[in-house]
Amino acid sequence: MTALYRTTLIGLALLWAQSASAAVLLDKSEIRFICKQMGAPVEGRFKIFDADVVFKPTDLPHSHAKISIALASIDLASDESETEVKGKNWFNVTHFPQAVFQSTSIKALGGENYEVHGHLALKGITQDIVVPMKIHTLSGMQVAEGSYSLMRTVFKIGEGTWADPDTVAEEVVVKFKMILAH
């Protein structure tokens, strides 16, 4: 192998490493939410989601995230509640099986803090949202975590008798933790 060929291969490998997507360790990552039903907090999570993440803190214009959540994978620790929220008045998973967040830009706020701007598509409705995010390192891996609030009725989640905010609060807090490995 010639020195020029070897140098070219090393250069290409370094270029690929700098531009490659960060693999999201899905089994160590999580998407959770908290809402209130009749004033009492209700917590849940989504067991199945996919994440395509490229995070380059020194090149944010070329960073992005796309998160797809299988809404039928909701876990509320209650079969009856899970069946209800998969139905037409809530997620209507038959017609809208996924929620998708697609970033449009990432802004550094200083230190480990960022804002991720993007579109959230849920139940056939797309809204612009801003997600605060913190990136830190844990055991040699990047951890991206944060939370944001969404108003459920904007996405027609909880229609009919469930639309009353005294029954189920309007605000839903979504929390996420993504473990990124290169």
| Residue 25 domain boundaries | 21-181
Query: Tens of pLDDT along 66-119?
Result: 999 999 999 999 999 999 999 999 999 999 999 999 999 999 999 999 999 999
Q: What is the CATH number of the domain that holds 104?
A: 2.40.128.110
Question: Domain for residue 5, yes or no?
Answer: no
Query: CA-to-CA distance for 94 and 107, rounded, in angstroms?
Result: 36
Could you tell me which of 132, 144, 128, 130 has the C-alpha nearest to residue 54? Answer: 144
Question: Domain for residue 27, yes or no?
Answer: yes
Q: Answer for the pair 148, 133: CB distance below 8 angstroms, yes or no.
A: no
- Model confidence band, residue 12 (pLDDT cutoffs 50, 70, 90): very low
Question: Domain for residue 2, yes or no?
Answer: no
Per-residue pLDDT at 121? 97
Question: Domain for residue 1, yes or no?
Answer: no
pTM given for the model: 0.84
Q: What is the DSSP string of 63-103?
A: -EEEEEEEGGGEE-S-HHHHHHHHSTTTT-TTT--EEEEEE
What is the helix (H) or strand (E) element at residue 9, kind and residue range? helix 3-19
Dihedral of CA 153/158/163/169: which sign? negative
The larger pLDDT score, comparing residue 139 to residue 122, is at 122
Find all residues with CB under 8 Å of 171, minimum gap 6, and list them: 35, 36, 149, 150, 151, 152
Question: Domain for residue 73, yes or no?
Answer: yes
Question: Domain for residue 16, yes or no?
Answer: no
Q: Is the pLDDT of residue 32 over 90?
A: yes
Query: CA-to-CA distance for 115 and 141, rounded, in angstroms?
Result: 20
Q: What is the mean pLDDT of residues 23-40?
A: 93
Question: Domain for residue 151, yes or no?
Answer: yes
The token duo for 47 is 């067991």
Per-residue pLDDT at 140? 82
The total of structural domains in the chain comes to 1
Question: Domain for residue 33, yes or no?
Answer: yes
